[in-house]
Structure 1
């Protein structure tokens, strides 16, 4: 599968596993993001993060949850993506009372599509890892904003400023 450039990114048509908590029951939906946007008639903020329950990732997920109503008012759903398992996502959602949905991309298909797996330097060691990134799509599924190498803390407020200006 060819990797799109940032300018050519469209919502993929292959199925992904979305984990949602509805009234304390976990729902696992296998649906394409393209179909999801068509069914909800809302825009989509798709953000990629390295690992459930780590400090930066927890900060980012809880900030998205805190600002969920503001994003909803602007007409956006929010979905986080990591390579963690469905079970890990369920624990993460429960532990931090997250109100956002998460995608389990354990096969890295979505991460590769969005080209967010990169060589990183951590504490002097070169590793391959997921680069914190966000992609904003309008209700027609068109990319309107993309950012890579995000700083987790305060990102949701910066994104809200971008979307309202």
Structure 2
């Protein structure tokens, strides 16, 4: 669900570890923005190689050209390790960048760790969420608790308007 706010939220300048088909590198979120014409899409997901997360990552990959044509770069974030991200990218032939956030610095900043129910027990987990930033590093869209299968279409509709 899209939530609009009058509050201006600027892209944080954290140093992150990015994993892609070329390997891994340390950079900042604003530096990642430099590779786009209009902005940056940061999406948070619970875990590499799980059914819903795989559906979502493959959908972002399948729509990579459409999102790039709209001027946006896509970055996925989870608490998984660099090695896990590398395996996920290779196994699923992903062409998007993934950020390893094992210390939950980004997850906490974006407030995506919430109490969840799994098999009748509660635990803290990442709630599937996406944040869209414009070229000025200002948040222009926030989507929380999204569905893995429908989300990229919802995002494309939002960006096309």
Q: Determine if contact 2:75/2:97 at 8 Å carries over to the other structure.
A: yes
Segments of 5+ residues of structure 1 without an aligned counterpart are: none
List structure 1 segments (4+ residues) > 6 angstroms apart after TM superposition.
Answer: none
| 1:20-39 mapped onto 2 (5 Å cutoff) | 20-22=20-22, 26=23, 28-38=24-34
Q: What SS does structure 2 have at the residue aligned with 1:7?
A: coil
Distance 1:64 1:6 in 2: 28
RMSD: 1.6
Per the alignment, residue 12 of structure 1 pairs with 12
The equivalences for 1:24-103 within 5 A come to: 26=23, 28-38=24-34, 40-103=36-99
TM-score (norm 1): 0.90
Look up the match of 2:153: 157
Q: Which residue of 2 is the match for residue 143 of structure 1? A: 139
The count of corresponding residues between Structure 1 and Structure 2 is 157
1:84-123 alignment, distance < 5 Å: 84-123=80-119
Q: Which secondary structure does the structure 2 equivalent of 1:137 belong to?
A: strand
Unpaired runs of 5+ residues, structure 2, are: none
Cα deviation for residue 8 of structure 1 reads: 4.1
1:56-94 per-residue CA deviation (whole Å, 9 max, x = no partner) reads 000000000000000000000000000000000000000
Q: Secondary structure of 2:19's partner?
A: strand
Are 2:42 and 2:74, in contact at CA under 8 Å, matched by a contact in 1?
A: yes
CA distance in 2, matches of 1:163, 1:83: 27
Distance in 2 (CA, whole Å) between partners of 1:54 and 1:8 is: 34
Mapped to 2, the partners of 1:16 and 1:119 lie a distance apart of 25
Calculate the TM-score normalised by the size of structure 2. 0.92
Cα deviation 1:137-161 (Å, max 9, x = unaligned) = 0111110100110110121011101
